[in-house]
Amino acid sequence: MADRGGVSRRDFFRLGLAAGPASLVAACGWDGGAALEPGLRAFGRVNDWVGENILLSGSRLAPEYSISQRTPAPLFPAYSITYNQKRAYPAPVAGWELEVDGEVRSPKRFTLEMLEGLPRVSYTVKHHCVEGWTAIGTWTGVPVSVVAELVRPLPAARYLRFDSFDSGYSNGWDLASAMHPQTILAYAYNDRPLTRERGAPLRLYSPVKLGYKLTKYLTTMSFTRERHGGYWEDQGYPWLAGV
């Protein structure tokens, strides 16, 4: 969940981590303009550049926890743009399928049953919200990398775009983060199928990203040449948003 009004303590903490290696950024050739220009957007650009070019590691795994450490489901907050507007969580259309397209050799559509039949990953991990709270839950789904192998991205594909039926909510991801072994298309939470407040029928999940990057209510996953922003990113929140 994100707050439109101002910058939270967690924002300043994370952005401070990005500002710390300023001399390293300069030495590595960042040419993103003045680091002190006003607003969160400028800090976000530094944060993203440092994360994508210096700190991002495809081999770094988020720690896992025991099932006994799960946060009780009622205490694990849920969030939806549609719910904020209408006080009801969005529902999928009849015959829902996930479309995977863009810069790929073999675009495909997947039913939920097809996705459930693919190799799966299940882990119990800590969820990090940009507002500062955390919660522990178990998520199960198919790795994005497995779906990528089926559609065979073209060399031009550098990013992914995830779209949803949650009032136009979307996110853009770098390819390396999307192919991380813990980045999944999740269809279960705490050993049960996703409910509407958790993003049913399918949501993006990764414990190495802040919560606002984990698009719920997925409709499309597109491989792209250009970097797509996102609902909160276009309002100034950091694009990479790594944990």
All structural domains of the chain with their residue ranges:
63-235
Mean pLDDT for the stretch of residues 96-125:
98
Residue 132 pLDDT greater than 90, yes or no: yes
Lowest mean pLDDT among 14-18, 43-47, 67-71: 14-18
Lowest mean pLDDT among 34-38, 163-167, 231-235: 34-38
Token pair of 32, please? 């993103």
pLDDT attached to residue 48: 57
Mean pLDDT for the stretch of residues 133-156:
98
Q: In 3-state terms, the chain is what percent helix, strand and coil (to 5)?
A: 30, 25, 45
pLDDT attached to residue 60: 87
* Burial (0-12, 13-18, 19+ Cβ within 10 Å), 37: exposed
CATH architecture of 63-235: Alpha-Beta Complex (3.90)
E strands, the chain, are 98-102, 108-110, 121-128, 134-143, 159-164, 170-174, 184-189, 192-193, 203-205, 218-224
Q: Tell me the pTM.
A: 0.80
Token pair of 78, please? 């849920």
CB 164 within 8 A of CB 233: no
Which has more confidence, 82 or 23? 82
Mean pLDDT for the stretch of residues 33-49:
46
Mean pLDDT for the stretch of residues 229-239:
96
Residues 154-202 have pLDDT tens digits of: 999 999 999 999 999 999 999 999 999 999 999 999 999 999 999 999 9
Residue 142 pLDDT greater than 70, yes or no: yes
Read off the amino acid at residue 37.
E
pLDDT attached to residue 24: 32
pLDDT attached to residue 33: 39
Token pair of 149, please? 């192998």
**Which residue in this structure is represented by tokens 């497995």?**
146
Measured torsion, CA atoms of residues 109, 111, 117, 120, in degrees rounded to the nearest 10: 80
Lowest mean pLDDT among 25-29, 55-59, 69-73, 114-118: 25-29
